[in-house]
């Protein structure tokens, strides 16, 4: 049985060059200069456009290379400190205030995103109606839970003021 590739191997690497046969660096440079010597009305705008696009691409890489790589200065984070002897009722009241602020910020962010959706032609109203109903029910339940906890905490404080033992 004859081998699969029975012909003698030909050395193909010697005939290959960096540029194809009709092109050499000298002829490519000559073509470039002959193009710019011709009087063409679109020559300079195209040259300007190609330089600008190249500059934008290079500048994008430069900016991307510097993004999130520079060391940041020491960042001071302030933490709200609380009195260790504050009552449970005061804690729950603060939770109610923080929850209301969070809901207001969420609504503001939603209005902003709805503006973006309108700008891009995204339909959001049907989904928003369903989600708003769910959200209002969840907020109502959380408020009821906080109100219940607040009432119990105030009752415990009043009982402690009268000398009764806490349950």
pLDDT digits (tens, 9 = 90+) for 30-70: 888 888 788 888 888 988 999 999 999 999 998 888 777 76
Asked if the structure places residue 46 within a domain, the reply is yes
For residue 93, what pLDDT band results from cuts at 50, 70 and 90? very high
Q: State yes or no: pLDDT of 155 exceeds 60.
A: yes
Same domain, 96 and 47: no
Same domain, 92 and 157: yes
Same domain, 155 and 100: yes
Contact 153, 86 (CB under 8 A): no
Contact 106, 116 (CB under 8 A): no
Q: State yes or no: pLDDT of 148 exceeds 70.
A: yes
Q: State yes or no: pLDDT of 84 exceeds 60.
A: yes
Q: What is the dihedral of CA 83, 86, 90, 95, to 10 degrees?
A: 50
Phi/psi of residue 30, each to 5°? -65, -40
Q: What angle do CA 30, 34, 36 make, to 5 degrees?
A: 120
Considering its fold, how many domains does the chain have in total?
Answer: 2
Asked if the structure places residue 18 within a domain, the reply is no
Asked if the structure places residue 93 within a domain, the reply is yes
Asked if the structure places residue 56 within a domain, the reply is yes
Asked if the structure places residue 99 within a domain, the reply is yes
Asked if the structure places residue 11 within a domain, the reply is no
Same domain, 101 and 148: yes
Residue 16, helix vs strand vs coil: coil
Asked if the structure places residue 17 within a domain, the reply is no
Alpha-helix runs per DSSP H in 75-124: 88-120
pLDDT at 12: 57
Q: How far is CA 46 from the centre of its chain?
A: 35
Mean pLDDT check: name the lowest of 65-79, 87-101, 123-137. 65-79
Contact 139, 103 (CB under 8 A): yes
Tell me 50's DSSP state.
H
Question: 71 or 4, which is more confident?
Answer: 71
The parent domain of residue 136 ranges over 88-161
Asked if the structure places residue 153 within a domain, the reply is yes
Classify burial at 143, counting beta carbons within 10 Å of its beta carbon; exposed 0-12, middle 13-18, buried 19 or more: middle
Q: How confident is the model over 131-144, as pLDDT tens digits?
A: 999 999 999 999 99
Phi/psi of residue 147, each to 5°? -65, -40
Same domain, 122 and 154: yes
């Amino acid at each position: 049985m004859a081998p699969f590739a029975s012909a003698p191997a030909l050395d193909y690497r010697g005939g290959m060059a960096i540029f194809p046969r009709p092109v050499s660096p000298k002829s490519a440079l000559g073509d470039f200069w002959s193009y710019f010597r011709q009087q063409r009305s679109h020559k300079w705008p195209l040259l300007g456009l190609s330089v600008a696009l190249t500059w934008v691409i290079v500048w994008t890489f430069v900016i991307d290379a510097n993004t999130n790589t520079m060391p940041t200065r020491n960042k001071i984070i302030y933490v709200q400190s609380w009195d260790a002897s504050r009552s449970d009722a005061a804690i729950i009241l603060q939770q109610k205030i923080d929850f209301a602020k969070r809901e207001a910020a969420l609504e503001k962010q939603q209005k902003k995103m709805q503006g973006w959706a309108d700008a891009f032609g995204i339909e959001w109203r049907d989904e928003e109606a369903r989600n708003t109903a769910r959200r209002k029910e969840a907020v109502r339940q959380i408020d009821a839970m906080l109100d219940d906890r607040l009432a119990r905490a105030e009752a415990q404080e009043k009982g402690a003021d009268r000398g009764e033992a806490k349950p």
